[in-house]
Amino acid sequence: MRVLSIREICPVVRIANYIKVTPGATWPNRRIPDLELILVVSGEYEYVTEAHRHLLNKGDVLFIESGILHSKSMLSHCQQGLLSAIHLELLPNSSWLAGDYRLTPHPEIVTRVEDFDYLRGRFRRLAEVYQGYSPHREELTSAIAREILATLASHWHPSARTQVTPRMQAMIDYIRVNLTHPISRLDLAQTFNVSPAYVNLLFQRELGTTPTAMIHRERVSRRTT
Protein backbone atom coordinates (compact mmCIF):
# COMPACT_ATOMS: atom_id res chain seq x y z
CA MET A 1 0.00 0.00 0.00
CA ARG A 2 1.30 3.44 -0.92
CA VAL A 3 1.14 6.16 1.75
CA LEU A 4 0.67 9.57 0.15
CA SER A 5 1.46 13.02 1.43
CA ILE A 6 -0.70 15.94 0.30
CA ARG A 7 2.09 16.92 -2.11
CA GLU A 8 1.80 13.59 -3.91
CA ILE A 9 -1.94 13.48 -4.54
CA CYS A 10 -3.42 13.96 -8.00
CA PRO A 11 -7.19 13.92 -7.39
CA VAL A 12 -9.58 12.44 -9.91
CA VAL A 13 -13.00 14.03 -9.38
CA ARG A 14 -15.91 11.76 -10.22
CA ILE A 15 -18.81 13.91 -8.96
CA ALA A 16 -18.98 17.48 -7.66
CA ASN A 17 -22.23 19.19 -6.79
CA TYR A 18 -23.78 22.03 -4.80
CA ILE A 19 -27.35 21.10 -3.90
CA LYS A 20 -30.38 22.22 -1.92
CA VAL A 21 -31.59 19.80 0.77
CA THR A 22 -35.13 19.60 2.07
CA PRO A 23 -35.88 19.11 5.80
CA GLY A 24 -35.91 15.46 6.77
CA ALA A 25 -33.96 14.31 3.71
CA THR A 26 -32.14 11.03 4.35
CA TRP A 27 -29.44 8.91 2.73
CA PRO A 28 -29.75 5.58 4.60
CA ASN A 29 -27.41 2.59 4.65
CA ARG A 30 -24.95 3.71 2.01
CA ARG A 31 -21.61 2.26 0.93
CA ILE A 32 -19.78 4.30 -1.66
CA PRO A 33 -17.02 2.99 -3.96
CA ASP A 34 -14.87 6.12 -3.71
CA LEU A 35 -14.04 8.88 -1.21
CA GLU A 36 -16.50 11.66 -0.46
CA LEU A 37 -16.05 15.14 0.98
CA ILE A 38 -19.20 17.01 2.04
CA LEU A 39 -19.22 20.67 3.06
CA VAL A 40 -22.19 21.79 5.15
CA VAL A 41 -23.14 25.18 3.72
CA SER A 42 -26.33 25.48 5.76
CA GLY A 43 -28.60 23.29 7.87
CA GLU A 44 -27.97 20.64 10.52
CA TYR A 45 -27.29 16.98 9.76
CA GLU A 46 -26.56 13.67 11.41
CA TYR A 47 -23.94 11.22 10.19
CA VAL A 48 -23.99 7.71 11.63
CA THR A 49 -21.74 4.66 11.18
CA GLU A 50 -21.47 1.46 13.21
CA ALA A 51 -18.77 3.12 15.33
CA HIS A 52 -19.60 6.84 15.34
CA ARG A 53 -22.39 9.40 15.41
CA HIS A 54 -21.70 13.01 14.44
CA LEU A 55 -23.86 16.12 14.32
CA LEU A 56 -22.87 18.44 11.48
CA ASN A 57 -23.39 22.18 11.20
CA LYS A 58 -22.44 25.03 8.89
CA GLY A 59 -18.71 25.01 8.26
CA ASP A 60 -18.17 21.30 8.92
CA VAL A 61 -16.53 19.11 6.28
CA LEU A 62 -17.37 15.41 6.44
CA PHE A 63 -14.90 12.84 5.11
CA ILE A 64 -16.48 9.50 4.17
CA GLU A 65 -14.21 6.57 3.40
CA SER A 66 -15.16 4.22 0.61
CA GLY A 67 -16.79 1.00 1.75
CA ILE A 68 -17.95 2.33 5.14
CA LEU A 69 -21.60 1.57 5.89
CA HIS A 70 -23.20 4.86 6.89
CA SER A 71 -26.35 6.94 6.94
CA LYS A 72 -26.81 10.66 6.92
CA SER A 73 -29.88 12.83 7.28
CA MET A 74 -30.95 16.44 7.63
CA LEU A 75 -32.60 17.15 10.95
CA SER A 76 -36.32 17.66 10.49
CA HIS A 77 -36.56 20.94 12.43
CA CYS A 78 -34.25 22.71 9.96
CA GLN A 79 -35.16 25.01 7.13
CA GLN A 80 -33.97 24.12 3.65
CA GLY A 81 -30.24 23.39 3.67
CA LEU A 82 -27.28 23.41 1.30
CA LEU A 83 -24.58 20.78 0.85
CA SER A 84 -21.63 20.55 -1.50
CA ALA A 85 -20.27 17.07 -2.17
CA ILE A 86 -17.19 15.76 -3.97
CA HIS A 87 -16.64 12.10 -4.91
CA LEU A 88 -13.02 11.41 -5.81
CA GLU A 89 -9.93 9.25 -5.70
CA LEU A 90 -6.58 10.76 -4.77
CA LEU A 91 -4.58 9.04 -7.52
CA PRO A 92 -5.48 8.10 -11.11
CA ASN A 93 -6.21 4.43 -11.70
CA SER A 94 -6.11 3.75 -7.95
CA SER A 95 -8.66 2.87 -5.30
CA TRP A 96 -8.85 3.67 -1.60
CA LEU A 97 -11.35 0.81 -1.24
CA ALA A 98 -8.95 -1.69 -2.80
CA GLY A 99 -6.19 -0.56 -0.44
CA ASP A 100 -3.99 0.93 -3.16
CA TYR A 101 -3.13 3.97 -1.03
CA ARG A 102 -3.73 5.91 2.16
CA LEU A 103 -3.16 9.57 3.03
CA THR A 104 -0.96 11.11 5.69
CA PRO A 105 -2.03 12.93 7.75
CA HIS A 106 -5.10 10.71 7.90
CA PRO A 107 -8.28 12.74 7.29
CA GLU A 108 -10.51 13.43 10.27
CA ILE A 109 -14.13 12.33 9.95
CA VAL A 110 -15.37 15.86 10.64
CA THR A 111 -13.27 18.98 10.13
CA ARG A 112 -14.41 22.41 11.32
CA VAL A 113 -12.87 24.88 8.89
CA GLU A 114 -11.53 28.26 9.97
CA ASP A 115 -12.16 30.16 6.72
CA PHE A 116 -15.63 29.01 5.74
CA ASP A 117 -16.22 31.61 3.00
CA TYR A 118 -12.99 30.70 1.22
CA LEU A 119 -13.64 26.97 1.31
CA ARG A 120 -17.27 27.36 0.31
CA GLY A 121 -16.06 29.29 -2.75
CA ARG A 122 -13.68 26.47 -3.67
CA PHE A 123 -16.39 23.80 -3.34
CA ARG A 124 -18.78 25.89 -5.41
CA ARG A 125 -16.20 26.62 -8.08
CA LEU A 126 -15.35 22.92 -8.31
CA ALA A 127 -19.02 22.07 -8.86
CA GLU A 128 -19.28 24.73 -11.58
CA VAL A 129 -16.19 23.48 -13.41
CA TYR A 130 -17.27 19.84 -13.09
CA GLN A 131 -20.67 20.60 -14.59
CA GLY A 132 -19.21 22.70 -17.40
CA TYR A 133 -17.42 21.83 -20.64
CA SER A 134 -14.02 23.48 -20.34
CA PRO A 135 -11.37 21.89 -22.57
CA HIS A 136 -9.23 21.57 -19.42
CA ARG A 137 -12.04 20.43 -17.16
CA GLU A 138 -10.21 17.43 -15.67
CA GLU A 139 -7.08 19.43 -14.94
CA LEU A 140 -9.09 22.23 -13.31
CA THR A 141 -11.21 19.92 -11.17
CA SER A 142 -8.09 18.08 -10.02
CA ALA A 143 -6.32 21.34 -9.13
CA ILE A 144 -9.27 22.73 -7.16
CA ALA A 145 -9.79 19.44 -5.31
CA ARG A 146 -6.10 19.38 -4.43
CA GLU A 147 -6.38 22.92 -3.05
CA ILE A 148 -9.38 21.89 -0.93
CA LEU A 149 -7.55 18.86 0.45
CA ALA A 150 -4.43 20.87 1.22
CA THR A 151 -6.56 23.35 3.14
CA LEU A 152 -8.24 20.57 5.11
CA ALA A 153 -4.92 18.82 5.83
CA SER A 154 -3.80 21.84 7.84
CA HIS A 155 -6.50 20.87 10.35
CA TRP A 156 -5.90 17.12 10.45
CA HIS A 157 -2.68 16.94 12.44
CA PRO A 158 -0.80 19.48 14.57
CA SER A 159 2.44 18.84 12.68
CA ALA A 160 0.70 19.72 9.39
CA ARG A 161 -0.48 23.15 10.53
CA THR A 162 1.19 26.26 9.24
CA GLN A 163 3.31 27.07 12.27
CA VAL A 164 6.97 27.98 12.38
CA THR A 165 9.48 27.80 15.19
CA PRO A 166 10.97 31.03 16.63
CA ARG A 167 14.25 30.26 14.82
CA MET A 168 12.50 29.93 11.46
CA GLN A 169 10.53 33.12 12.06
CA ALA A 170 13.80 34.89 12.83
CA MET A 171 15.23 33.63 9.52
CA ILE A 172 12.16 34.86 7.65
CA ASP A 173 12.46 38.28 9.32
CA TYR A 174 16.18 38.40 8.47
CA ILE A 175 15.47 37.67 4.81
CA ARG A 176 12.78 40.36 4.62
CA VAL A 177 15.01 42.99 6.25
CA ASN A 178 17.94 42.19 3.94
CA LEU A 179 16.16 41.65 0.62
CA THR A 180 18.07 44.49 -1.06
CA HIS A 181 21.37 42.73 -0.31
CA PRO A 182 22.72 39.41 -1.56
CA ILE A 183 21.50 36.59 0.71
CA SER A 184 22.60 32.99 0.52
CA ARG A 185 22.06 29.81 2.45
CA LEU A 186 25.57 30.30 3.86
CA ASP A 187 24.64 33.79 5.12
CA LEU A 188 21.70 32.31 7.01
CA ALA A 189 23.86 29.52 8.41
CA GLN A 190 26.51 31.95 9.70
CA THR A 191 23.97 34.42 11.09
CA PHE A 192 22.06 31.75 13.02
CA ASN A 193 25.05 29.57 13.92
CA VAL A 194 23.92 26.41 12.13
CA SER A 195 25.19 24.46 9.13
CA PRO A 196 24.04 25.22 5.56
CA ALA A 197 22.59 21.70 5.37
CA TYR A 198 20.55 22.35 8.51
CA VAL A 199 19.20 25.58 7.01
CA ASN A 200 17.92 23.57 4.04
CA LEU A 201 16.39 20.98 6.38
CA LEU A 202 14.55 23.66 8.38
CA PHE A 203 13.08 25.31 5.29
CA GLN A 204 11.94 22.00 3.81
CA ARG A 205 10.48 20.73 7.09
CA GLU A 206 8.69 23.92 8.19
CA LEU A 207 7.90 25.74 4.94
CA GLY A 208 8.09 23.04 2.30
CA THR A 209 10.50 25.08 0.19
CA THR A 210 14.18 26.05 -0.12
CA PRO A 211 15.86 29.24 1.14
CA THR A 212 16.62 30.28 -2.45
CA ALA A 213 12.99 29.81 -3.54
CA MET A 214 11.70 31.81 -0.60
CA ILE A 215 14.15 34.66 -1.16
CA HIS A 216 13.14 34.79 -4.83
CA ARG A 217 9.44 34.80 -3.96
CA GLU A 218 9.89 37.57 -1.39
CA ARG A 219 11.77 39.73 -3.91
CA VAL A 220 9.14 39.19 -6.60
CA SER A 221 6.41 40.03 -4.07
CA ARG A 222 8.13 43.22 -3.02
CA ARG A 223 8.59 44.38 -6.63
CA THR A 224 4.90 43.91 -7.39
CA THR A 225 3.51 45.72 -4.33
For the purposes of burial, counting CB atoms within 10 Å of the CB of 111, is it exposed (0-12), middle (13-18) or buried (19 or more)? buried
Judged against a pLDDT cut of 60, whether residue 161 lies above it is answered with no
List the beta bridge partners of residue 71.
Answer: 48
Best CA proximity match to 19, nearest among 38, 46, 36, 35: 38
Three-state DSSP at 10 gives coil
Where are the domain boundaries for CATH 1.10.10 in the chain?
A: 166-223
In tens, the pLDDT along 177-224 reads 998 899 999 999 999 998 998 898 888 877 878 999 999 888 888 765
Cα–Cα–Cα angle for 200, 201, 202, rounded to 5 degrees: 90
Where are the domain boundaries for CATH 2.60.120.280 in the chain?
A: 2-160
Residue 74 identity: M
Judged against a pLDDT cut of 80, whether residue 100 lies above it is answered with yes
- How sure is the predictor about 152, in pLDDT bands with cuts at 50, 70 and 90? very high
Query: What global pTM score does this model have?
Result: 0.73
Cα–Cα–Cα angle for 173, 8, 62, rounded to 5 degrees: 90
Three-state DSSP at 82 gives strand
Q: Would you tell me which CATH number, out of the four given (3.30.310, 3.30.70, 2.60.120, 1.10.10), belongs to the domain 166-223?
A: 1.10.10
In tens, the pLDDT along 106-142 reads 999 999 887 899 999 999 999 999 999 989 999 999 9
Superfamily of domain 2-160: Regulatory protein AraC (2.60.120.280)
- State the DSSP code for 40: E
Judged against a pLDDT cut of 70, whether residue 80 lies above it is answered with yes
